[in-house]
Structure 1
Amino acid sequence: MTELEQFAAPGSEWWRSAVIYQIYPRSFADASGDGIGDLPGITSRLDALKDLGIDAIWLSPFMTSPQKDAGYDVADYRDVDPIFGTLADFDEMLAQAHARGIRVIVDLVPNHSSDQHAWFQQALKAAPGSPERARYIFRDGKGENGELPPNNWESVFGGGQWTRITEPDGSPGQWYLHIFDVSQPDFDWTNDEVREEFRGILRFWLDRGVDGFRVDVAHGMIKKDGLPDYTPPADADSMGGGEDDVPYWGQDGVHDIYRDWHEVLAEYDGDRALCGEAWLPTLKKTALWVRPDEMHQTFNFPYMMTEWDAEKIGAVIRESLDEFGAVGAPSTWVLSNHDVIRHASRLALTADSPQGDGIGPKSQGKPDQATGLARARAATTVMLALPGSSYLYQGEELGLPEAMEIPDAFRQDPTWFRTNGERYGRDGCRVPLPWEADAPAFGFSPTGASWLPQPAEWALFARDIEEADAASTLNLYKRLLTLRRERELGTGSLVWEDLGENAVAFRRGDLHVAVNLGAEPLELGEGVSFVVQSQPFEGTALPTDHAVWYTKA
């Protein structure tokens, strides 16, 4: 049994304190030269991740897919899409990651499949009421001839959640539900055949050696009985965060699914983990997903979406530690991912931007880049000192901002198309990474191809440039991660400190952590010795938008 396979003592499992790095495969590294990142590209850059100091990687979808929603529309859950490579490429990447002490978590999309999945194609050819249709949510329409959708639900990507099919005989037929794009029909999770199929999918990847699963739309798989009409508030987040009693989000029945999956993972060595993407209205409800017999982690979206305000940040950290701790689970911390504006831009926005809308050339309240980067570095300096597990999104260690000036002709997010360009969507956080400033496509692809255009100014953020700069964001992350591991900051508890209403401050043993969110410098007192500064400064007064780790004589 290898080091990665051993069981930990209860309460000290690896996932409780891990720093997990999210890879968006199509934008990480392209080995084939077609402009789309792939599995061999990931393998070629694993040494850079080991050098960064992370514990695990989470791969966004790489399974067979028509790529209508960047792989979140899966046509075959047991194979690799050819644009990313082969199963052999996956096995090699997994082996190489494990050889470096890096665990691998894969994305699983159980709420819906692609409309190209064999099951959905069978459903289209079958009759209403057939077993084939029972795997998905088909319903008769309303109106005299069934010409109206079964209810008024709105898709996350814009438009309605229902699409009417043409029956095999050519007549207008039933409607099927899709919370997301029309190409992503929702499974019916009240169907035992669906549940058994996903048990098999879990075992397929666990048998290959994966260390766990990030579960997409983990709060959406069960719909309220009767599918009642529902109209979300005008300012609602696209994934339901902040809303209560939404008939297609957060229904109680999802917990039975995860209790079942928990038992499947428990059959395997190595403390395999489930992490849920569950956008819920409160941390108390979020914590229900990680009770001892359900998921092991769930993303802390309330923390991620908290604005740059000392009182609010302090409150969400306190509440997170309390609510997750109450069910024996670790708090998780995350500032960016593939669905939200990068935090080096988001934290400096001066106009509202609901999650999922994105920002682009015509957006109001665009961020000042210097302010955004300063706040991002400070926010990360605080986050990596917190007990629990932290998630990093590829490129944030370089301080990458949101790519806001993508020309309309290059946009690919379904949100852009389904809203006729009214919402930019998520392309801006998905632009391929810069590795070497002077290489084609900044080292992303050997041919210079790139599926989304890279801003010219990203040469300044290239990894080789930042490697050579002691004050770079990359070297800040490396130092934070090294000290986090040496001081075991992922475990234990914290003691709050009071540095005034414009600061968030706490202590981890003899290490003090503080961030200044006010307009004036913050005096830290006598005997201060700095361990980390989010950005270099002179003296002992903490500047605005700076964070520090320090000790006191």
Structure 2
Amino acid sequence: MTSPQSAVLTETAASRPGAEWWRTAVIYQIYPRSFADSSGDGIGDLRGVTAHLADLEDLGIDAIWLSPFQRSPQKDAGYDVSDYCDVDPIFGTLDDFDAMLAEAHARDIRIIVDLVPNHSSDQHEWFQQALAAAPGSRERARYMFRDGRGENGELPPNNWDSVFGGPAWTRITEADGSPGQWYLHLFDTSQPDFDWTNEEVREEFRRILRFWLDRGVDGFRVDVAHGLIKADGLPDYTPSPEGGSMGGDEANVPYWGQDGVHEVYRDWHLLLAEYDGDRALCAEAWLPTPERTAEWVRPDEMHQAFNFAYLETGWDAAALRAVVDRSIAAYSAVGAPSTWVLSNHDVVRHASRLALTAENPQGHGIGPDSPGQPIPEVGLARARAVTTVMLALPGSAYLYQGEELGLPEVIDIPGDARQDPTWFRTNGERYGRDGCRVPIPWTSDGAAYGFSPSGESWLPQPAEWATLARDVQTTDADSTLSLYRTLIAQRAAYGLGANDLEWIDVPGGADEAEVLAFRTGDLTVVANTGSTAVPLPAGRVVVASGPLGDGTLPGDTAVWLAQD
């Protein structure tokens, strides 16, 4: 099947197995509300995306992943969907989406859209019908409604906590005014979980997939891809307080990574295979090991799964080598590429995270009172270096909007300006994810730094955005933007996404715990995670993450060397 919007790419996109575009692609995540605002309301929109496609083409990326833009009350920034087949008015219209898609395809940029199948908004038509219906009804069966425990059902069905803090169950009032059943929401109370044992739910999502595929989208990033199926009996479970909020640190969680979820993706795989152009599924699946994550990308399931093990690895040569080895082995064993990533809309930006000196579990965020505050210069140097390593690795890579500008986490957001449900549901104990979602800067002296013509911004932008704006960095050969452009261009020129990797001895007898060195095709890649300069191997410098010494590689720096 080929829609008019998709024809530009799919006419030439047919590929042999093992050479599909998504295996080696560099994919750029756009968080629409924070990318570019064309209307002046302070919230980014689809026309804003279209207006900047030339900038992304110039960056050299292969595809865009759009975070949710579907109709939503925006209780969780669009991850609470009320209509999966329409565009929320704050982002524009379906016509705006079609125009953006056509323009992206004309520039050979593919479009991946976010899909949120674990839960809907409580404003979704189905949930409103469920509230009006009786216990045991067809309408209630689409969601996880259960009777409460206790003599009068006054206790929740189990002890599960929400990812955002607080209980994962909310009790409803029945139509006659009496206390009623409870419904599960692993996230906010406004995000009731679907019951994926219900065939009606499965058929509805087949319809949703076809709606967007027929419009010409190239794939889906699947939100909470490990959470659709819950363990039989919904047993009590208490997570480790030190763990991340999405379950990636623990095994055998009754609401994460259940075996039954794989049936869903096998079904979706077959559906996508009906369409031309190597349409792809990418899993957001926070799991304890690369081996577990690789289960999501077996040949008949999804095509990509974010390598969160790499994202969560600190700036340490031995640890990075170990996670790269383990990842390549795990994904290769099922015939899939590793899908590398360092930042997204749910984690502290890596230009700050890599310089933190205290534990910071995923989803907690950082604020002015957080321990172990990052040193900006250290964080940026490490971020540039670890990205230089990542873009040399075999497989695909995802970038998060603004990281090409070296944007740090915004720490000093006033409490009354924060909007993440985590902030409210924990009474301010966790800062949440607002710091990585602040609208990005395009111009140093424009209204809202070029984000919005009115100067409005849904989250406050810091003054330092003026020095990090795209227009300032465009002509600066040493800027982070110039580094990313060069890395992406040379990655393509040397075919690094499809190369094998071979570890080599670190130069000059340096400490293997501090220096990472490997060969990929005609390039040698060396990264110094320590503080002492090490000898630089022979070779022509293709790109370096920072200034090099006289024959040496300084600490917190990485380099690509050509052997020609």
- Return the match for 1:138 from 145, 161, 184: 145
Offset from partner CA, 1:307-337 (integer Å, 9 cap, x none): 1111111000011110000000011100000
Q: 1:231 matched to which residue of 2? A: 238
Residues in 2 aligned to 1:552 and 1:508: alpha-carbon distance in whole angstroms:
11
Aligned partner (choices 514, 527, 548) of residue 526 of structure 2:
514
Write the distance in 2 (CA, Å) between the matches of 1:132 and 1:366.
49
Please tell me the residue identity of whatever aligns with 2:547: P
Q: Confirm or deny that 1:504 pairs with 2:511.
A: no
User: What is residue 39 of structure 1 aligned with on the other side?
Assistant: 46
The residue correspondences of 1:206-217 to structure 2 (distance < 5 A) are: 206-217=213-224
Unmatched 5+ stretches in structure 1: none
Native 8 Å contact 2:499 2:521 kept in 1: no
CA distance in 2, matches of 1:24, 1:495: 35
1:372 is the counterpart of 2:379 = yes
Aligned length: 552
1:535 matched to 2:549:
no
- The 5 A counterparts of 1:476-487 are 476-487=483-494
Normalising by structure 2, report the TM-score.
0.97
Correspondence 1:111-130 to 2 at 5 A: 111-130=118-137
CA distance in 2, matches of 1:349, 1:266: 43
Are the aligned partners of 2:8 and 2:105 in contact in 1 as well (CA < 8 Å)? Answer: no
Q: How does 1:313-352 map to 2 (within 5 A)?
A: 313-352=320-359
- Shift in Å, 1:551: 2.7
Aligned partner letter, 2:28:
Y
| Aligned mate of 1:183, from 187, 190, 201 | 190
For the residues of structure 2 that align with 1:335 and 1:498, how far apart are their CA atoms? 26
Distance apart, 1:468 and its partner CA: 1.7
1:529 Cα offset (Å): 2.2
Pair 1:16-2:28 in alignment: no
- 3-state DSSP class of the match of 2:180? strand
Identify the residue that residue 422 of structure 1 maps to in structure 2: 429
Are the aligned partners of 1:4 and 1:103 in contact in 2 as well (CA < 8 Å)?
Answer: no
Q: What letter matches 2:356 in structure 1?
A: L
Q: Structure 2: how far apart are the matches of 1:551 and 1:54?
A: 23
Match of 2:200 in 1: 193
1:470 aligns with 2:477: yes
Amino acid at match of 1:550: L
Task: Give the match's secondary structure for 1:106.
Answer: strand
**Contact map agreement 1:4 1:101 (CA 8 A) in 2:** no
Tell me the alpha carbon deviations over residues 508-529 of structure 1, each in whole angstroms, 9 at most, x when there is no partner.
122100100122111124x332
Per-residue deviation, 1:35: 0.2
In percent, how many aligned pairs have the same letter? 71
Q: Following TM superposition, by how much is the alpha carbon of 1:103 offset from its aligned partner in structure 2, in angstroms?
A: 0.1
The answer on 1:546 being equivalent to 2:553 is no
* Cα deviation, residue 552, structure 1: 4.3
Q: In structure 2, the residue corresponding to 1:57 is in which secondary structure? A: strand
* Contact 1:112-1:185 within 8 A present in 2 as well: yes
Mapped to 1, the partners of 2:417 and 2:21 lie a distance apart of 40
User: Residue 362 of structure 1 aligns with which residue?
Assistant: 369
User: In structure 2, what is the equivalent of residue 246 of structure 1?
Assistant: 253
Tell me by how many angstroms 1:491 deviates: 0.4
**Quick one: which amino acid aligns to residue 105 of structure 1?**
I
The CA RMSD over aligned residues, in Å, is: 0.8
Matched, 1:152 2:159: yes
Amino acid at match of 1:522: V
**AA partner of residue 381 (structure 1):** T
Task: Point out where structure 2 has 5 or more consecutive residues left out of the alignment.
Answer: 1-6
1: distance between equivalents of 2:280 and 2:168? 32
Question: Which whole-Å CA distance do the structure 2 matches of 1:150 and 1:15 have between them?
Answer: 42
Measured after TM superposition, the shift of residue 497 of structure 1 is 1.0
Match for residue 393 of structure 1? 400
Q: Retained in 2: the 8 A contact 1:528–1:540?
A: no
Amino acid aligned to 1:295? M
TM-score by length of 1: 0.99
